Structure 1
Amino acid sequence: MQAITSLDGRYYERIKVLAPYFSEQALMKYRVMMECRYLISLSLSTKTGLRKFTESEIKKIESLYEKFDDISYKKIKDFEAITNHDVKAVEYFIKEQLKKTSLKDSIEWVHFALTSEDTNNISYALILSDSLGEVMVPEIKKIISELNTLAKKYKDLPMLARTHGQSASPTTFGKEMKVFVQRLDRALDHLYGQKILAKLNGASGNYNAHKATYPKVDWMKFSENFIKQFNTLYKKPRILKLEPNLVTTQIESHDSYIEVFDRLKRINNMLIDLNQDMWRYISDNWITQIPKKGEVGSSTMPHKVNPIDFENSEGNLGIANSLFEFFARKLPISRLQRDLSDSTVERAFGTAFGHSYLAYISLEKGLSKISINENKIKEDLLAHAEVIAEAIQTVLRRESYPIPYEALKELTRGKQVTMEDFSHFIDDLKVSPKIKLELKKFTPLTYTGLASKIASK
């Protein structure tokens, strides 16, 4: 009731699946995981003064993030209330949990030689990778699957095409759905190939404290191995893998984040395009919406069944993209070796993902409630006989008939023509009876080219 944003209020139940990735508690859990993995890696390297941990000790450390809960989160926030520093609060939390165990002799190795940005950038890289792999991409795939079903089911349904808003050579409803399938599939392929850069190199990116304490350790190699371990930490492979960035300032430059956001923005733009097309099809009564008992379309017009799911999706995609565009403008810029302005921006990642996800499920809901009005689609196509003018003039070109384009332009441009008009036109042509018969076979319903075959691919 008291939520400030619609995502945390009106829409929370619909988007709460993102809370394990973008909530404040989730960020703390990822930070704890990063710090715990670092402590374990230092122990396993056996090249520093840190002793090698036993299997049970490693399991104890892992339990801090694997069993992270509300109580864990509250303890961190209690530390933060004193330190006014969220990452330092994470460090103190881990130390407190370990100081009463056999690991009490090793607690000063928590956050050893690190800066907060080492912890944060890896945490955010994991958050982006996990949320995309577990939530966002599966939802996009559901949309693609639904569109592919429509493409195959209606591959042969002839439909009037419109270019510049005017009648154009016919297509099929299925083929137009296939266009979006192909675009979205390609966009996902590009997203799969994206890597998220991460760094572990200290306060200025030079391993200063690392080298000062253990100059013989190959810290760059350690950093590479540490970051790459997250790609195989779980049985399920990552869609977006982490990649070490060895050349940074205090912060990882965020360029790969922006590459991810740009790919999501392109997907979102495709879906805005789809939403607007569906809206127009509904407006033309080519698509009808199945009303749900008890729902209201208008507070004053009882008959209304509005395309609210597609409109909701379009609006949320616009909000998400405006944030992704802002991220792209802001995040690559940091004063000298680091300023803190990126930190507050990163906390808004979940807002952009939340509006995107809300748009995806709204679009899915809209698609689940539609029925294709085949009769209306065919009726409107038949009302535009002029669309076969292209077919006739092209065949006449093949036959070397003089100025066929101009002849068909004179017959059709800006005029309401019928199939009877075409029949008379063909009768007057100085071509063979065989060609006349060929030309008279063209109808708006059959002049769809390879649309059915394309939709079947």
Structure 2
Amino acid sequence: MDEHAGYQSPLSGRYASPQMQEIWSSKRKIGTWRRLWLALAESEKELGLDITDEQIAELRDHLDDIDFEAAAKYEKELRHDVMAHVHTLGDAAPAARSIIHLGATSQFVNCNTEMLQLRDATKLIATKVANVICNLGDFSKKYRSLPTLGFTHYQPAQPTTVGKRATLWAQDLALTLEDLEFRIQTMRFRGVRGATGTQASFLDLFDGDHEKVLQGFCYCLSTISDNA
């Protein structure tokens, strides 16, 4: 496997599914950074900044052709992972170099990317939990009449059935699934802020037009910091 195509850790190869490894892979992470930079540039253009269609198109053409070796060289020189990938993308899309990450801070890509990864990872877990619940339903029906010893306070008590006991496991998982679905539905973007969690850099870009800076942020965290 390409080392950047799956999440790397001492435990991932043994315990993580291929789908989960892909969600947390370097390719997914940096590919999402680039999509966030594209979305940022598109929004800034829409709000009036001098960004050309050519620059937007060039960014869109280089979302996934990530040169990790070049980025590693830049990071060794700059000692900054985000700036390393800003320069790497700038090399691939020279016409767009000046608009990449314009006005943003590192946590714009870091936090928002991790939120998207958490959302996708949670969706994957929720799907697997739902499958287990379905399987337990089939199991419960199959063994609904098979007697087994019931317990209370960890002591032998009245008989129950294997199927009945399995419905209790399914019920616990159903509550877990309900919570996972709530988390998925209520996850919020960090939003777009400047270096210390303020909007100063964007107010500067838009000549102090506060309404433009606020536009489109109806469902993100209302206050954040960038103390990394």
Residues 111/22 of structure 1: CA separation in 2 closer, same or farther (3 Å cut): same
| Secondary structure of 2:167's aligned partner | helix
Q: Distance in 1 between matches of 2:149 and 2:37?
A: 60
Give, in angstroms, the shift of residue 143 of structure 1.
1.6
Partner of 1:265 in structure 2?
Answer: none
Instruction: Write the letter of the residue equivalent to 1:220.
Output: L
Aligned ranges 1:61-140 → 2 under 5 Å: 61-65=59-63, 68-69=64-65, 72-99=67-94, 104=95, 106-133=96-123, 135-140=124-129
| Secondary structure of 2:17's aligned partner | helix
Aligned ranges 1:34-45 → 2 under 5 Å: 34-43=36-45, 45=46
Return 5+ residue gaps in structure 1 as ranges.
226-242, 251-337, 341-457
Larger radius of gyration: 1
Give, in angstroms, the shift of residue 59 of structure 1.
4.9
> 1:322-373 deviations in whole A, cap 9, x for unaligned?
xxxxxxxxxxxxxxxx1x3xxxxxxxxxxxxxxxxxxxxxxxxxxxxxxxxx
Partner of 1:196 in structure 2?
Answer: 187
> 1:235-283 deviations in whole A, cap 9, x for unaligned?
xxxxxxxx41131222xxxxxxxxxxxxxxxxxxxxxxxxxxxxxxxxx
Q: Aligned residue pairs: how many?
A: 216
Verify the 8 A CA contact 1:19 1:26 in the aligned structure 2: no
Verify the 8 A CA contact 1:220 1:246 in the aligned structure 2: no
Partner of 2:166 in structure 1?
Answer: 177
Residues 98/220 of structure 1: CA separation in 2 closer, same or farther (3 Å cut): same
Q: Distance in 1 between matches of 2:129 and 2:93?
A: 42
1:244 aligns with 2:212: no
| Secondary structure of 1:34's aligned partner | helix
Q: Distance in 1 between matches of 2:74 and 2:60?
A: 21
Q: Distance in 1 between matches of 2:43 and 2:71?
A: 23
Partner of 2:3 in structure 1?
Answer: none
Verify the 8 A CA contact 1:144 1:185 in the aligned structure 2: yes
> 1:61-110 deviations in whole A, cap 9, x for unaligned?
23322xx25x53333223222211111112112211221xxxx1x43121
Verify the 8 A CA contact 1:201 1:246 in the aligned structure 2: no
Give, in angstroms, the shift of residue 58 of structure 1.
4.3
Residue 203 (structure 2) aligned to one of 208, 211, 216: 211
Partner of 1:5 in structure 2?
Answer: 10
| Secondary structure of 2:148's aligned partner | strand
Verify the 8 A CA contact 1:118 1:199 in the aligned structure 2: yes
| Secondary structure of 1:167's aligned partner | strand
1:162 aligns with 2:138: no
Verify the 8 A CA contact 1:157 1:174 in the aligned structure 2: yes
Residue 31 (structure 2) aligned to one of 24, 29, 32: 29
Residues 208/4 of structure 1: CA separation in 2 closer, same or farther (3 Å cut): closer
Give, in angstroms, the shift of residue 4 of structure 1.
7.0
Verify the 8 A CA contact 1:25 1:73 in the aligned structure 2: no
Q: TM-score, normalised by structure 1?
A: 0.44
Verify the 8 A CA contact 2:104 2:193 in the aligned structure 1: yes
Verify the 8 A CA contact 2:47 2:212 in the aligned structure 1: no
Give, in angstroms, the shift of residue 28 of structure 1.
2.0
1:49 aligns with 2:50: yes
Instruction: Write the letter of the residue equivalent to 1:63.
Output: D
Residue 16 (structure 1) aligned to one of 11, 18, 32: 18
Partner of 2:5 in structure 1?
Answer: none
Q: TM-score, normalised by structure 2?
A: 0.84
> 1:91-149 deviations in whole A, cap 9, x for unaligned?
112211221xxxx1x4312111111011111010111112222x322222222222111
Return 5+ residue gaps in structure 2 as ranges.
1-7
Q: Distance in 2 between matches of 1:213 and 1:15?
A: 44
Q: Percent same amino acid among aligned pairs?
A: 19
Residues 84/40 of structure 1: CA separation in 2 closer, same or farther (3 Å cut): same
Q: Distance in 2 between matches of 1:137 and 1:59?
A: 36
Verify the 8 A CA contact 2:196 2:225 in the aligned structure 1: yes
